Structure 1
Amino acid sequence: MRTFGFAAAGALLLVIAEIVVFVLVAHAIGWWWAILAGIVTTVVGAVLLKREGVRAWQRLRSAVSEGRPPGGDAGTGVAGLAGALLLLAPGFITDTVGLLLLIPPVRAFAGRQIRQATEARISAAAAGDLFGPRVVKATRADPGPVPTQPGAGEILQGEVLEGDVIDPQHRHHSA
């Protein structure tokens, strides 16, 4: 319930900010031009929503048919759809964020953020199925003195090249 309160407060602040920005833009370029700009971005958003939806669906189907994990394509697809939806919503702030999400590097960044947020909320096995295995570069380190138990002295050192290593015992759940 607490999340709903934050979301409602955020939505109210966004509406107030959108009204303030609209009035400022209208004073700068004229009321009719501001209204026309709002209508044009809504129409463009509707067209892009259809286009981005079709592209996202095609990328998802392609990944599945090729046997690739679909999660990466789904993340960038969701970012593109969010950009189109934000253009569809009235207001210059949401239009600006929507346009930014349609720029490929920004969309890729948002897709990675969606992936990380998703991986943090699902099991490591499900994340592996959805996004593929983590790519890790690992090397064996010198175990030091002879271990007393078999396998106890093996030390692996490595760095994550792609994805995140998720330790299920130290996962933070946010609900």
Structure 2
Amino acid sequence: MRRNRLAYVPLAVPLWALAEILVFVAVSHAIGAGWAVLLLAVFTLAGFALLRREGIKGWRSFQEAARENRPPGAEVANSLAGLGGALLLTMPGFLSGVIGVFLLVPPGRVLARRGIERFAERSLGGAATSDLFGPRKVRVHSGAPVTVVVVDEEQQGPGRTPPPAIEGEIIR
């Protein structure tokens, strides 16, 4: 049985605030209180500017995917990661700022996008996730040996033949 993760929020929020305060005190001791406040202000202003830019960029990529008749899930997940990073930058605090910057750089976006895809697959199921994100990696059990079918998303595109369909029963 999975635990409800929302039950931990009342404990996590004060701990996060305490961690932010401790990091702010440490940074202000290292560089000075005025510079620390100025740095937080710069993070916040950059976050507000990036929030608008990421929102517009995400909406345009979603529209482009819809126009080209391809699954928009990757663009949506990528823009959600960017919006989350920009939103974390708007929050005052160095920890949230560092995590926000991490979500804005390409390696962080890739990790966040994969997490969003896994969350969507667990929440929505395989069929809906395939509609959103395109073909998925599927594990097919046929007797004792396990056959792994991997659909490489980079090999698909215009002018390329799709992989052969495999008929079978999905076992959870």
2:63 — aligned with what? 61
1:160 — aligned with what? 150
Q: Is this contact kept in 2: 1:137–1:161, CA < 8 A?
A: no
Q: Is this contact kept in 2: 1:38–1:90, CA < 8 A?
A: yes
Structure 2 runs not aligned, ≥5 long: 154-168
- Higher CA-based Rg: 1
Structure 1 runs not aligned, ≥5 long: 142-152, 171-175
Q: Is this contact kept in 1: 2:24–2:94, CA < 8 A?
A: yes
2:98 — aligned with what? 96
CA shift for structure 1 position 8: 1.9
1:86 — aligned with what? 88
Distance in 2 (alpha carbons) for counterparts of 1:123 and 1:2: 19
Distance in 1 (alpha carbons) for counterparts of 2:129 and 2:119: 11
Aligned residues: 153
Q: Which 4+ runs in 1 deviate beyond 2 A?
A: 1-5, 133-138, 155-163, 167-170
Cα offsets for 1:56-106 (capped at 9, x unmatched)? 111111111110101111111100100000000010000000011111122
Alignment of 1:115-126 (within 5 A): 115-126=117-128
Distance in 1 (alpha carbons) for counterparts of 2:98 and 2:170: 38
Alignment of 1:1-175 (within 5 A): 3-134=5-136, 157-161=147-151, 170=172
CA change 1:42–1:48 in 2 (3 A) is: same
What is the RMSD computed on CA atoms of the aligned residues? 2.7
Distance in 1 (alpha carbons) for counterparts of 2:95 and 2:111: 20
Cα offsets for 1:27-63 (capped at 9, x unmatched)? 1111110111111100000000000111111111111
Q: Is this contact kept in 2: 1:63–1:70, CA < 8 A?
A: yes
Distance in 1 (alpha carbons) for counterparts of 2:37 and 2:123: 41
Cα offsets for 1:8-29 (capped at 9, x unmatched)? 2111111000000001101111
Q: Could you tell me the percent identity over the aligned residues?
A: 41
Distance in 1 (alpha carbons) for counterparts of 2:96 and 2:107: 19
TM-score, length-scaled by structure 1: 0.78
The 10-residue stretch of structure 1 (39-48 or 5-14) with the greater mean CA deviation from structure 2? 5-14
Distance in 1 (alpha carbons) for counterparts of 2:170 and 2:88: 35
TM-score, length-scaled by structure 2: 0.79
